[in-house]
Amino acid sequence: MSTVFVINSGSSSIKYQLINPALEGKDAVVASGMVDQIGLQQGKYSIKHDGEKIEHQAEIPDHAVGLQLVIDLFNEVGLNLDEQDVVAVGHRVVQGGNLFREPVKIDDTVIEQIASLSPLAPLHNPAHVLGMKVARDLLPDIPHVAVFDTAFFADLPDASRIYPIPQDIAEKYAVRRYGAHGTSHQYAVSYTHLTLPTSDLV
């Protein structure tokens, strides 16, 4: 069974899932969990697997410690990642700006580009970059892929994309409607096409 390790790295949390892409919906989730309150005096980290949830508390000073705790949790429930045939690590990224219109394999250049877009998502992109760097250090032999929320909205028509402000200012500061939660919208659209008769989509 091949799996994909999905990471959503926030400023003070890490949400994650281990997915079996051969299955759909909830059946695809092998395990999931969260590391919360990173950088605070008392953090917590958890995993759900086979209908049971395990949660611990500890001081979690940074994302490196947090992600290592995730790997420890997998071992605790008998899901050593080295034995799960993890074929890719997916990273959710809020803001891809005008640079990214589709998923991309992560390398040092991509990380620099995502970091450069931080002014457009100052609470999110820096945390994503932290998560990518830590995950690549801990899992260096697996390809890492960034998936962008904004990619779903990359082809918005001008009437929806452009704000009514001077275009020289818009271009200078990359101001446009980028959209949000595009990965969720993409899933909803795909699921709708799979489950509704074509006649209902017209």
Q: Are 87 and 4 in contact (CB under 8 A)?
A: yes
Catalytic residue (choose from 27, 85, 149, 168): 149
Token pair, residue 122, equals 């100052």
Q: What is the three-class DSSP state of 46?
A: strand
Token pair, residue 199, equals 């006649």
CA proximity to 56, closest of 47, 70, 65, 46: 46
CA-CA-CA-CA torsion for 187, 188, 190, 195, nearest 10 degrees?
130
Separation of alpha carbons 66 and 173, rounded Å:
34
Q: What are phi and psi of 17, to 5 degrees?
A: -145, 150
Amino acid occupying residue 112: E
**DSSP of 108-138, one letter per residue?**
HHHHHHHHHTGGGSTTTHHHHHHHHHHHHHH
* Catalytic residue status for 149: yes
Residues recognised as catalytic: 149
